[in-house]
Amino acid sequence: MRIASWNVNSIRQRLPHLTGWLKDAQPDVVCLQEIKCVDEAFPAAEIEALGYNVAVHGQKTFNGVAILSKHPFDEVKTRLPGNDDDEQARYIEAVISTASGALRVASIYLPNGNPVGTEKYPYKLGWMERLRLHISRLLALEEPFVMAGDYNIIPQAADAKNPAEWVNDALFLLQSRSKFRELLALGLTDAFRACEDAAGHYTFWDYQGGGWQRDNGIRIDHLLLSPQAASRLQGCAIDKAMRGQEKASDHVPIRCDLAL
């Protein structure tokens, strides 16, 4: 089973990119972030025509997440537990039926946290703590799950072309990276790093400053696997070529294959 994550940076602007990639890559499950539309405006018909079921948690203009699946949804939950006052559409979770049993998948759009020194950074750290607590509860179920999404975290210096440019950024501050390591310490596996040790692999290139042209990228989109999913990991890849398309998202898809 192929499971992918992609921050599309506006589903309506990137729909031709998405449908073309779905045809080429043939993922079974896709977690989307930054769809930037309400549920009713999501182009479900075009995606369903390609054989996908669609679950959406949208928000006007900002944020928004979705899950596409070639398999039926057993259940869908929106919102990350722990703060009923949080109205930002950043989390959707689904249980999907597969030939070998149920698979839980979440699409995550973790807060950016910048500028540091404003309320945005404590919100990011608080969101990550809520995520840690939720994952710890899911791990007790002892089932395969994938937490897929734009984490807005650069885990290590090797995950940035020029790490010195990010030392004061919320994506790379020590406290941010420590919260990410707390997720891994629960027993999760970073699917990409389980398959590739080398530096120079990125999922995001800024529109500003010729980031793509200079390959000045960062790796901030991650697939975190429960032990039951990690034991079935067969490979992981970043579809870098998507960034070179006209009017591309600043992120590219990342995908892993599981023996399910």
**Residue 257 annotated in ligand binding:** no
Running DSSP on this structure, what letter comes out for residue 114?
P
N-term to C-term CA, the chain? 6
Which contacts (CB < 8 Å, 24+ apart) does range 18-27 have? 18/47, 19/46, 19/47, 19/50, 21/239, 21/242, 21/253, 22/47, 22/50, 22/52, 22/68, 23/50, 25/239, 25/253, 25/255, 26/2, 27/2, 27/3, 27/68, 27/253, 27/255
Peptide bond into 81 cis (omega under 30): no
Cα 149 to Cα 8: distance, rounded to the nearest angstrom:
11
**Residue 221 annotated in ligand binding:** no
Place of tokens 């597969």: 98
Q: What is the β-pairing status of strands 73-78 and 101-109?
A: unpaired
Place of tokens 């398959």: 195
Task: Report the catalytic residues.
Answer: 109, 150, 251
**Residue 250 annotated in ligand binding:** yes
**Residue 112 annotated in ligand binding:** no
CA of residue 40 relative to chain centroid, distance? 22
**Residue from 58, 114, 66 nearest 88 by CA:** 58
**Residue 34 annotated in ligand binding:** yes
**Helix locations, the chain, DSSP H:** 11-25, 44-48, 120-139, 174-185, 191-195, 227-230
Please answer whether residues 92 and 78 qualify as being in contact, where contact means their C-beta atoms are separated by less than 8 angstroms: yes
Please answer whether residues 144 and 228 qualify as being in contact, where contact means their C-beta atoms are separated by less than 8 angstroms: yes
**Residue 84 annotated in ligand binding:** no
Binding residues: 7, 34, 150, 152, 250-251
Binding residues for Mg(2+): 7, 34, 150, 152, 250-251
